[in-house]
Structure 1
Amino acid sequence: MTTRRPTFSAALAAGLAAVLTLSPGLARAEAVPDFDTSLAGNYLAARLASTERDQDAAVVYLRNLMKLDARNEEILERTFFAMLMDGQIDDAMKLADRLVKIDRTHRVARLALAVRSIKKAHYQTARTNLALSVRGPIGDLTATLLAAWTFFGSGNTKGAVELIDRLEGPDWYAPMKELHAGLILDAAGQKKEAGRRLEAAMKADPGSLRAIDAYARWASRNDNTEAALAAYAAFDKQLPNHPIVLAAIKELKAGKQLPPLVKTAQEGSSEVLYGLGATLGRQGGEDLALVYLQLAIWLYPEHPFASLTLADLYEQLKQPAKAIEVYETVPDSSPLKRNAQVQLAVNLDATDHYNEARKQLEKMIAADPKDIEAIIALGKIQQTRKMFSECAGTYSKAIALIPQPTRGNWALFYFRGVCNERSKNWPAAEADLKKALELNPDQPHVLNYLGYSWVDQGTNLDQGLDMIRKAAKLRPDDGPIVDSLGWAYYRTGRYEDAVVQLERAIELMPQDPVINDHLGDAYWKVGRKLEAGFQWNHARDLKPEPDDLAKIVQKIDKGLDSVDQPPPVSKAEEQQKGG
């Protein structure tokens, strides 16, 4: 009689009691025991770590699961994905070999094996793996562009370009197709056709720095320096002072030619993975974006943007420690090094290493007092830490570096205005917020902040309410702005209107203690006292600020009338006028 392996459900039932005794801290990689013999324990811990996107811990638990249940295909696949996302590529490749024996057309396993073959310059093997993978819109584009680079690696430039041109698909394929056809032709020395394709790529996606850079580099080597400078200048208008652009312009003005963006099949394939990974990360496909970016870096570690994009994705996923690890790998010779150092400092602060972050930024500013990015980063850190007087001064240094502020500078005045308001300097704050609106009249956050400040102070009531309404119309799904509108109605004594807006805000942000507290107050004012108590209890359980907590507890015990409240501002304004 054969022995049946336990199913996951059976294993979980058998081991659940042991799992529930685990400390939450065990989800972190540094707290993982050497080996847990509980199948259920490791499975649930791996799921928890994956949910929290702690891939280090997930891999440890999944490795344990593989030791306990080596033939389980689901565990094998989960471990493979976790390793790819965590950058443990060499180990992931071993599992990819096993996966394709189970599922011959496994898309990501075939992709990984193709990348491994490209790295080894085994181009036919790479094409075989790509041909066997299951396709979809992203898969079709990925496989076609990678296969094209393998043809280039094999010396068949014509076949590479023809393969790209045969690919049909959605409109968003076009810029990538033109870019990679142009890069292949440029790397092959086919100057005229390369220029035509790269110019088409630039026109198809004028916001793409990679397309701009590729074309300008080609132009610099083909007696057209003016066209190269014009391409960079056009991009600079969209995103001023990008370090890659500034470095390229400096080289061009020194009379130098710029080498091709890509020279080898490995670099070209890395560019494919980077470009698609960056797109996936922006559109909510974070897991697959991690896979693509990790493979891009593994294939070509010197890729100038893949590392920064990976670090940025880690920031997006609230993993500052992982972001720091990646930023540290950016070489000193890269024009992007300074950007990496600024973001590294920001992430140091996010891991509660404020002093280290501050020292790094202050050192950068001392070395270059005009380093506005470092100054702004320091201001944001101070603002986050509620060092409002300090952040107002820091933002002032950044503003002083801008002789003629434009629409793109509105945020600096807004941030300084917030810091001035929080440090009880309202005249300066009001001037900053008005300046921010002058630069960007329809900016909802500025409209909301200035409008609410006026309403709360009992001044400019009609104008202030109109500004908050406009902000809420511009951002109807923004919980804090909708809350501001509701609370403005509350402060002006319009309690029924306040309830309507605050209930909307709760739907948008049900776990926000401030909004729950506000709704409780509004319910009390309209006589819905039982519901008011429910909202206050909920607000109390959501970990409000200590000062707010004391007032909430008092309201739960004794009602709203037990706490000091200013009168409605409309009445306060009438009293000030003698009414």
Structure 2
Amino acid sequence: MFSNRFNRLTVAAIALLGTAIATVPGGVMAQTPDHPADTAAQFPTRNDLKALTTSGSYLAARHASVERDAASAAAFYRSALRSDPKNNELLDRAFISSVADGDIDEAVKLAERILTIDKTNRVARLVVGVHDLKFKKYATAQSNINQSIRGPITDLVATLLSGWAAYGAGDAKGGVAAIDKLTGPEWYPLFKDLHAGMILELAGKEKDAGVRFERAYKLDDSMLRITEAYGRWLSRNKDSAAATAVYQAFDKKLARHPLIQEGLRETKAGKKMPPLADSAQAGAAEALYGIGATLTRRGGEDLALVYLQLALYLQPSHPLALLSLADLYESVKRPQMAIKVYERVPSSSPLKRNAQIQLAVDLDSADRTDEAIKILKGVVSEDSKDLEAIMALGNLERGRKKFGDCGATYSQGIDVLPAGNDKANSVWYYYRGICEERSKQWGKAEADMKKALELQADQPHVLNYLGYSWIDQGVNLDEGMKMIKRAVEQRPDDGYIVDSLGWAYYRIGNYEEAVKNLERAIDLKPEDPTINDHLGDAYWRVGRTLEAKFQWAHARDLKPEPEELPKIEAKIANGMSDDNSNSSAAQAEKKKDDGKGG
């Protein structure tokens, strides 16, 4: 939703989030800095909970929190709370975990208990206030929301929500006045004018609404929701040409955004588009989504999660809020949670296709590759020219070493590329070349690599791949070495490319230079088994046999490809013969599996 300008403006404000996040006990999303892998743990059953003591439930809840499994954490904390109902820490943690899980109805019950103990708990006030707003209890909604203020972010959210509650109560003028009264950072007016305009729009004050939308648009014409709100207003109050111009201007900045494309289709057809929000609840959801989405990757994940879940409580099918929540889960390494959220995006939304593509990526990361491929093929079947979906499918197949399949998929994309010599097209030929090389079609692979360089002459990964392949085959040695050196000049800190240079020296028998460059590659990528294996071979050739065996042992422990493990173990046991037959050179092409290096 937000432009780069807005993101720069918010950096300082988000640095002040400590006071707001401090109201969230334990840090919902930031329990640990280690970002543990998604374990896809099973939700606890009733029998599981019955069998646990209070301390057992608490420990289980803490573990679930560390694993960022909000659903299990909430269940375990509530179980512990039933055994120890006067424990305020358990009450706080059960409440926050319920909010994080999106179980707002349960969170409201816990929040009401918290407020009998601590009337100043701001997150509890916010949650109860949003609940009241949802059920049109506007007076109590305003009262609770106004008591949730603390810091620049929460001040803005509370003021916008209170304004929408005032509109719901029939006082649009008062709601707008309260928004206008708020003062704060330079980026406040973007939100103030957008939401004041939306309230005025629904109150029938179309002319006044247009003034607000135009002012917000002039402040930042690269904000998606401002562009949409203004474009929709123009379609109803001016003419379709004016609305189309606004959408086209955005499209030049960020091409092919699905919501902008929808706006262009509608306005070009002369249709009058409805307001962005049609109720106080929808407007409040927009406010919560808009600010929550901005915080997801800027150190404010805890507060972002609260805002996004509350937005979805008000509007369960809000596509942008769903995508932002899924993105947040991905950023904290919870693909299973992201999958569930992407599946909730309505089929009728223009953003469904985007959700499907990202859903497939997450399914693949969860080793549900067949499902992922099926989804992507379905997306491509709906639009055979969807280059983003075709690329995603090809990348998934390449990552899973389905080299015959990915070559065909990239060909499908190449066949529908726009005419011309756009250097951005280089990547299609590069990726197809990798698939062809790995499926033993070197002639085709070489032609595609050359085509990629024709489109983008100094692309370091293509230079590296083609140069290394030539040296590996004993052809074009001088040109191949020059290519790799050019790649290293551009990417001196890329361990894979530096490894290629070292291994190229090894292949031409310059073992001293090989050692020097491979040691540098190890410094850059110490965890890569292939680079460790290469360095072991080079050490052996210069007579450093003990170091060679140490390096091979390290390569073995770093989980190399299954077919490489017995070769490495044989070298550890017996060393290397003089003919290179048991060196990693004999299988060097195996390394080139994903385009990362030679």
TM-score, normalised via structure 1 length? 0.81
Q: Could you tell me which residue of structure 2 aligns to residue 419 of structure 1?
A: 435
Residue of 460, 464, 469 corresponding to 2:483: 464
The one-character-per-residue Cα deviations of 1:195-238 (angstroms, maximum 9, x if unpaired) are 33323433444433222111111111112321211121222233
Q: Could you tell me which residue of structure 2 aligns to residue 251 of structure 1?
A: 266
What is the 5 A alignment of 1:191-206?
A: 191-206=206-221
What is the 5 A alignment of 1:201-216?
A: 201-216=216-231
- Letter in structure 2 aligned against 1:501: R
Aligned pair in 2 of structure 1 residues 462, 360: CA closer, same or farther (>3 Å)?
A: closer
CA contact (8 A) 1:486 1:497 kept: yes
Aligned pair in 2 of structure 1 residues 460, 53: CA closer, same or farther (>3 Å)?
A: farther
RMSD of equivalent CA atoms:
3.5
Instruction: Say which is worse superposed, 447-456 or 321-330, in terms of deviation.
Output: 447-456
Q: Could you tell me which residue of structure 1 aligns to residue 350 of structure 2?
A: 335
Residue of 482, 498, 515 corresponding to 2:517: 498
- Distance in 2, matches of 1:442 and 1:141, equals 48
Q: Could you tell me which residue of structure 1 aligns to residue 445 of structure 2?
A: 429
Residue of 252, 259, 278 corresponding to 1:237: 252
CA contact (8 A) 1:495 1:525 kept: no
CA contact (8 A) 1:452 1:468 kept: no
The one-character-per-residue Cα deviations of 1:467-516 (angstroms, maximum 9, x if unpaired) are 3324425xx5x66556556656766642453255234314xxx5444455
Percent identity for Structure 1 against Structure 2: 52
Q: Could you tell me which residue of structure 2 aligns to residue 225 of structure 1?
A: 240
Q: Could you tell me which residue of structure 2 aligns to residue 54 of structure 1?
A: 69
Q: Could you tell me which residue of structure 1 aligns to residue 42 of structure 2?
A: 28
Is 1:118 matched up with 2:133?
yes
Q: Following TM superposition, by how much is the alpha carbon of 1:559 offset from its aligned partner in structure 2, in angstroms?
A: 4.5
Q: Could you tell me which residue of structure 2 aligns to residue 549 of structure 1?
A: 565
- Distance in 2, matches of 1:162 and 1:437, equals 60
What is the 5 A alignment of 1:316-327?
A: 316-327=331-342
Residue of 156, 159, 166 corresponding to 1:141: 156
What is the 5 A alignment of 1:260-299?
A: 260-299=275-314
Unpaired runs of at least 5, structure 2: 1-37, 589-598
- Distance in 2, matches of 1:362 and 1:45, equals 40
Q: Following TM superposition, by how much is the alpha carbon of 1:336 offset from its aligned partner in structure 2, in angstroms?
A: 2.5
The one-character-per-residue Cα deviations of 1:154-178 (angstroms, maximum 9, x if unpaired) are 3444443443344444444443333
CA contact (8 A) 2:129 2:140 kept: yes
- Distance in 2, matches of 1:216 and 1:330, equals 24
- Letter in structure 2 aligned against 1:266: Q
Corresponding residue pairs, total: 539
- Letter in structure 2 aligned against 1:197: R
- Letter in structure 2 aligned against 1:65: A
Aligned pair in 2 of structure 1 residues 189, 466: CA closer, same or farther (>3 Å)?
A: farther
CA contact (8 A) 1:152 1:184 kept: yes
- Distance in 2, matches of 1:561 and 1:529, equals 12
- Distance in 2, matches of 1:226 and 1:411, equals 37
- Letter in structure 2 aligned against 1:542: L
Aligned pair in 2 of structure 1 residues 116, 200: CA closer, same or farther (>3 Å)?
A: same
Aligned pair in 2 of structure 1 residues 61, 159: CA closer, same or farther (>3 Å)?
A: same
Unpaired runs of at least 5, structure 1: 1-23, 570-579
- Letter in structure 2 aligned against 1:29: F
- Distance in 1, matches of 2:88 and 2:537, equals 55
Residue of 329, 332, 343 corresponding to 1:314: 329
Which structure carries more relative contact order (alpha carbon 8 Å, separation 6+)?
A: 2
Aligned pair in 2 of structure 1 residues 365, 500: CA closer, same or farther (>3 Å)?
A: closer
CA contact (8 A) 1:409 1:439 kept: yes
- Distance in 2, matches of 1:528 and 1:98, equals 70
1:261 alignment partner, SS class: coil
Residue of 82, 85, 88 corresponding to 1:73: 88
Q: Following TM superposition, by how much is the alpha carbon of 1:68 offset from its aligned partner in structure 2, in angstroms?
A: 3.5
Q: Following TM superposition, by how much is the alpha carbon of 1:387 offset from its aligned partner in structure 2, in angstroms?
A: 0.5
- Distance in 2, matches of 1:423 and 1:387, equals 9
CA contact (8 A) 1:39 1:65 kept: yes
Aligned pair in 2 of structure 1 residues 566, 335: CA closer, same or farther (>3 Å)?
A: closer
- Distance in 2, matches of 1:171 and 1:439, equals 43
Aligned pair in 2 of structure 1 residues 48, 212: CA closer, same or farther (>3 Å)?
A: same
CA contact (8 A) 1:28 1:54 kept: no
Aligned pair in 2 of structure 1 residues 48, 394: CA closer, same or farther (>3 Å)?
A: same
Residue of 362, 375, 379 corresponding to 2:394: 379
The one-character-per-residue Cα deviations of 1:227-271 (angstroms, maximum 9, x if unpaired) are 211121222233333332222222222221011111222111111
What is the 5 A alignment of 1:504-519?
A: 504-506=523-525, 511-518=527-534
CA contact (8 A) 2:453 2:463 kept: yes
